[in-house]
């Protein structure tokens, strides 16, 4: 199943299911229709509780919510003339598939060729840092570049995974049981801000510096996350091209390692690191008008346009 968030008429973003390239079904709306059709008196209350519009809450409801969502989506598609839960993609705004997670954990220096190009030693343990929820942006949003803050804006194509259930001290062999699904990320980074102190945070969590999407693909559709082609282009020029088999610390290892430090919770996002080819290594930083596209096989592509602004 492919989860996303969508908005119509400037309303708040809410959970939708992408059923084909151009069709979205709202599972909560569809389930209300299904329950009403069967004569259920508390249809809206039941649907809101079981299939929340907030994606993090939906994820927390686990397998039951997924099963019910599939049932609701099937009902809407079988009765398109009577359903108001079906939307065309071109008529809505698409947001990030997860909006306000409790944690966004990022992994640095996790592809061998990126470690070498940055002239760093191979880490013994995963290098982790954080971004804040205000960094999240949609799969086709614009990033506003403030040159008073940074003159070295960089890109990082990354596979991200989302936690599906709470876990602590998770064994390596059980790690994927705690993963809900996978999405595409771009860890937009202000390199000059990142390097001016020992801690990376200030250069890593600028507002809207984490484009995500276009969907969150549930793990049943990606049984092996360690064989996915990943690429990034700037204005159609290939800058990064690799495969997740090159991860130094794979998804299982990261779940095991991170859950030994913190309790992982539904909706938490983990960025797995970026391949070689970043702008810093080539002295090619993002400029006004640049189009940055990140694509991962089996998930899709996101594209961010860089627009220069200055403080008045």
The tens digit of pLDDT for each residue in 154-197 reads 999 999 999 999 999 999 999 999 999 999 999 999 999 999 99
Phi first, then psi: what are they for 291, rounded to 5°?
-110, 120
Over residues 112-124, the mean pLDDT reads 86
Over residues 192-214, the mean pLDDT reads 95
Whether 119 and 190 have beta carbons less than 8 Å apart is answered as no
- Mean pLDDT, the chain, whole residue set: 96
The pLDDT score that the predictor gives to residue 180 is 98
Residues of the chain with pLDDT > 70, as a percent, come to 99
Please give the sequence-ordered ranges of beta strands (E in DSSP) within the chain, or none if there are none. Answer: 2-7, 14-20, 23-25, 86-88, 93-95, 104-108, 127-131, 136-137, 142-146, 153-154, 157-163, 179-186, 189-190, 210-218, 229-234, 237-243, 269-271, 291-296, 300-309
The pTM for the full model equals: 0.96
* Gap between the Cα atoms of 213 and 97, Å rounded: 6
Structure confidence at residue 112 as a pLDDT band (50, 70, 90): confident
Residues of the chain with pLDDT > 90, as a percent, come to 94
Contacts of 242 (CB under 8 A, 6+ apart): 111, 113, 229, 230, 231, 275, 276
The pLDDT score that the predictor gives to residue 117 is 85
* Gap between the Cα atoms of 201 and 112, Å rounded: 23
Place of tokens 């809101």: 48
* Gap between the Cα atoms of 181 and 171, Å rounded: 18
Over residues 116-131, the mean pLDDT reads 91
* Gap between the Cα atoms of 247 and 127, Å rounded: 13
Over residues 235-258, the mean pLDDT reads 97
Token digits for 78?
């079988």
The pLDDT score that the predictor gives to residue 120 is 81
**pLDDT exceeds cutoff 60 at 262:** yes
* Gap between the Cα atoms of 151 and 199, Å rounded: 19
């Amino acid at each position: 199943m492919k989860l996303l968030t969508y908005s119509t008429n400037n309303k708040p973003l809410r959970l939708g299911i992408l059923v084909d390239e151009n069709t979205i079904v709202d599972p909560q709306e569809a389930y209300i229709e299904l329950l009403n059709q069967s004569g259920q008196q508390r249809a809206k209350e039941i649907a809101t509780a079981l299939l929340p519009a907030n994606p993090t809450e939906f994820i927390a409801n686990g397998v039951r919510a997924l099963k019910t969502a599939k049932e609701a989506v099937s009902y809407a598609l079988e009765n398109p003339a009577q359903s108001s839960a079906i939307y065309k993609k071109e008529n809505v705004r698409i947001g990030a598939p997860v909006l306000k997670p409790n944690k966004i954990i990022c992994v640095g220096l996790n592809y061998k060729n990126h470690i070498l190009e940055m002239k760093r030693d191979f880490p013994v343990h995963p290098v982790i840092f954080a971004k804040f929820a205000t960094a999240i942006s949609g799969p086709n949003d614009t990033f506003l570049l403030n040159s008073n803050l940074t003159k070295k804006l960089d890109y990082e194509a990354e596979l991200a995974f989302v936690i599906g259930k709470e876990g602590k001290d998770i064994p390596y062999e059980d790690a994927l049981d705690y993963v809900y699904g996978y999405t595409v990320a771009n860890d937009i980074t202000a390199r000059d801000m990142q390097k001016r102190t020992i801690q990376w945070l200030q250069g890593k969590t600028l507002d809207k510096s984490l484009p995500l999407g276009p969907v969150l693909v549930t793990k049943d559709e990606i049984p092996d996350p360690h064989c996915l082609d990943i690429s990034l282009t700037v204005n159609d020029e290939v800058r990064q091209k690799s495969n997740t088999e090159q991860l130094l610390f794979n998804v299982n290892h990261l779940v095991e390692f991170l859950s030994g430090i913190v309790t992982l919770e539904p909706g938490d996002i983990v960025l797995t690191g970026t391949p070689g080819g970043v702008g810093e290594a080539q002295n090619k930083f993002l400029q006004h008008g640049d189009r940055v596209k990140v694509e991962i096989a089996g998930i899709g592509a996101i594209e961010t346009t860089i627009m220069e602004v200055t403080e008045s």
